[in-house]
A and B are shown apart, each in its own frame.
Chain A
Amino acid sequence: MNVHQVDPNESKYSASATAFRANVDRDLANDELRDNFRGAMDYLMDKRKNAFPIEDELETLREKCKLIKQRCLLKLPQLLEQLEANLQRNGIQVHWAESITDANEIIAQLIAQKNGKTVVKGKSMVSEETALNDYLEARDIECLESDMGEYIVQLAHQHPSHIIMPAIHQNKKQVAKLFADNIEGFEYTTDVDALIGEGRRVLRDKFCHADVGISGVNFAVAETGTLCLVENEGNGRMCTTVPDLHIAITGIEKVIEFLDDMPPLLSLLTRSATGQIISTYFNMITHRRQEGDKDGPAEVHLVLLDNGRSQAFADEEMRQTLQCIRCGACMNHCPVYTRIGGHAYGTVYPGPIGKIISPHMLGIDATKDLFTASSLCGACGDVCPVKIPIPKLLLRLRKESVRKQSDGSPQIMHGQGAGRKTIEALLWQGWSIVHKSPTLYRISMFMLTRCRGLMPKKIGPWTTVRTAPQPAAKTLHERIKARNKATTQGAK
């Protein structure tokens, strides 16, 4: 049985994802928020476009990286074992977690073993997924985000609204106010250099004194037992270098087979994400601190998290979801994300990738409104660096969501069938009966066109922002029939 056992009380995102529609109402009405997102998305789309000047090159790289990730996934169990063996050989301890509670508890205990009281965190979406900060704070451990965007978001008691640029929903005025309200002695300014300087000042002190550093992982290389981190700010290096204890946490899908697999993936990741040919820092960690070293953590741990990934893995089509390298390009190009922003989704991963990964983490019951919230325009699939067929997977999830529970079909996902509504199902059955019968179809179209005068001016949600279309006086079927008749008669 590979179905992910979701405990709705476990993840705080269950409730917020369920509230998607209300979140959308709230955020669509916020003009400032929409301006912030539009501006940011324009910027990121432009950056990516400029980073791939040659289309053929991009296509070769995408194909290569898709195949790399598919190979690594096909070998996933053996690569995880190889990664574990090599990391342990290098003095890095490996822990496995099926659920977010597993992961949080392992990390809490690792910190407790060292009497840790303060934690600095590099950017890690997986630790957002587990809501690690809440878990640790409940145990009196201070957990400070050190990525500038994450720091802003934490200060505002929010969640990241974007996986690469967490504070993208805020403009500099909002950040300035946040700093002025929360940092003692800070004088309001919208000068970005000054704002970043203030963040630097506050966080330097934390880096200097923190007991523990926690980071994510971008690629875990099985062949060498190496953890690779991509970043621009240097906070990732701080977290993984200065404190005595470094704990990395990542999803099981991040393992790659060979060191040679990494350069093309790295190149696609940074270019797709922010349009950079490479990030400022690329940090490869292969050992803990060794004899004679003057710095570096004495202990390094890796926590490997499942949390629904093995459920996606069990289905060959949905397994492609796990190819994701978390670049965020799909959200940058998504017209829905651009309108509603990252928070409306209520999930830790927003945007198109969030719509296809969250159902595995939270179950279909909590996420069933997410994957219907797409026009299937296909922009996400077009830009995905590892060619995840996101629109196709959205369709697949819609199918699982409305699947009839009583038909004996196999249990593939937690909550499958949760989106099925009796009335809707009946409507589609009726639709199908009419449209598969030429006679019934013609009759109903005849009725529709003849009753055009009776068409209501308001037709449900459609007419909240549009007028209703008017049926034609005669159908195309009828007009062509008449036209053919006339032609035949004319010929006679």
Chain B
Amino acid sequence: MATISSISLSARANILAKLKKEVVGADYSKLPPEPDYIYPDLTHQEQLAQFITHLENNHAQVIKTDLFNMAHVVTEQLKQRDIDSLLYGKNSQYSGHIEAIDSSITLSDFDFSIDKDNSAAKTRLFYQTPAGITGSRCSIAATGSIVLWPTPQEPRTLSLVPPVHFVIVDAKQLYSDFATLIKEQKWQQNLPTNAILISGPSKTADIQQTLAYGAHGPKELIVLLLNS
């Protein structure tokens, strides 16, 4: 059987040749103008209300708090769920405030690596981690989305694998819509390994159109909203 590169090289040449033949002489300066799509101009308060409504409609829990009460809120929420441990990222944006959590909760750092040869770490993350907490980069009002750019301190799986995900959102970092956010933050120039928009807990309607939460990702998304 042919090798990957020989299959790919000949396929590449054939596909591109076929396609190029059809667009020879295409005048890209004469493309029709694309209409602008503009989101309604809302005040910050209106956007915030929109953001919260969308999240709540998507079954997320939104709790307005501040940096100093945050740890207490998290403690209370964990206790309500009979959860006594929380995974977080040390030296992350809000780690200092997270560390103020009640001593009855075992706070542990995501200080292990998820890879093939580390099944102990995987097992721990998948089976012994009932809740995780992360910060966020910003959020989007029009769709009720929270934007995460995971870091080495707060890796991708921290917001994905634990059944309960606490996410800290700064209301000052709220954008009207995704297009505006990309433009203002110039995402074209600095996209991270993984950028993720989260708009609620994991869900599915794959069985008879009946919504069920916690398909594979977190069953619960608890939004800790600061500066609202």
Contacts and interface: CB of A to CB of B under 8 A. Distances in A.
Is A–B contact present in the complex under a CB 8 A cutoff? yes
Contact of B192 (A40, A165, A258, A286): A286
A146 to B, nearest CB: 7
Interface stretch (A228-236, A366-374, A467-475, A478-486): A228-236
Nearest to B126: A208
Contacts of B18: 2, 306, 310, 313-314
Nearest to A71: B31
A241 B210 CA distance: 27
B182 A259 contact: yes
A147 interface: yes
Interface string B147-188: 000001001110011000000000000000111001100011
Interface stretch (A19-27, A287-295, A340-348): A287-295
A153 B18 CA distance: 36
B155 A286 contact: no
> Is the interface on chain B under 10, 10 to 19, 20 to 34, or 35 or more residues?
35 or more
B196 A199 contact: no
A161 to B, nearest CB: 12
B194 A296 contact: yes
Contacts of B68: none
B206 A223 contact: no
A263 B198 contact: no
A244 B192 CA distance: 18
Given A67-B34, A110-B4, A204-B126, A234 B207 contact: no
Given A102-B11, A172-B207, A260-B183, A286 B23 contact: no
A279 B15 CA distance: 33
Contacts of A143: none
Contact of B208 (A74, A171, A204, A313): A171
A218 to B, nearest CB: 13
A167 B207 CA distance: 7
B218 A234 contact: yes
Interface residues of A, number: 103
Contacts of B3: 109
A67 B36 CA distance: 11
B202 A285 contact: no
B21 interface: yes
Given A2-B21, A286-B192, A277 B206 contact: no
B37 A196 contact: no
Interface in B118-155: 119, 122-123, 126-127, 142-145, 152, 155
B203 A95 contact: no
Interface in B176-228: 177-179, 182-183, 187-188, 191-210, 212, 214-218
Given A242-B114, A278-B197, A149 B206 contact: yes
A279 B205 CA distance: 12
A181 to B, nearest CB: 16
B23 to A, nearest CB: 6
B108 interface: no
B69 interface: no
A353 interface: no
A242 B145 CA distance: 23
B41 interface: no
B8 A96 contact: yes
B114 A223 contact: no
Interface in B61-75: none
Interface in A62-89: 63-64, 67-68, 71, 74-77, 80-81
A306 B11 contact: yes
A165 B194 contact: no
A200 B214 contact: yes
20 contacts: A68-B34, A74-B23, A77-B23, A97-B8, A170-B207, A200-B214, A205-B126, A207-B216, A211-B116, A224-B187, A233-B206, A237-B217, A259-B187, A260-B179, A263-B177, A280-B199, A285-B193, A295-B157, A296-B155, A313-B22
A-B residue pairs, 8 tightest by C-beta: A234-B217, A149-B206, A233-B215, A295-B114, A278-B143, A282-B197, A96-B11, A196-B212
Interface of A: 2, 36, 39-40, 43-44, 60-61, 63-64, 67-68, 71, 74-77, 80-81, 95-98, 102, 105-106, 109-110, 146-149, 152, 165-168, 170-172, 175, 192-193, 195-197, 199-200, 203-205, 207-209, 211, 223-224, 226, 232-235, 237-238, 241-244, 252, 258-260, 262-264, 266-267, 274, 277-290, 292-296, 298, 304, 306, 310, 313-314
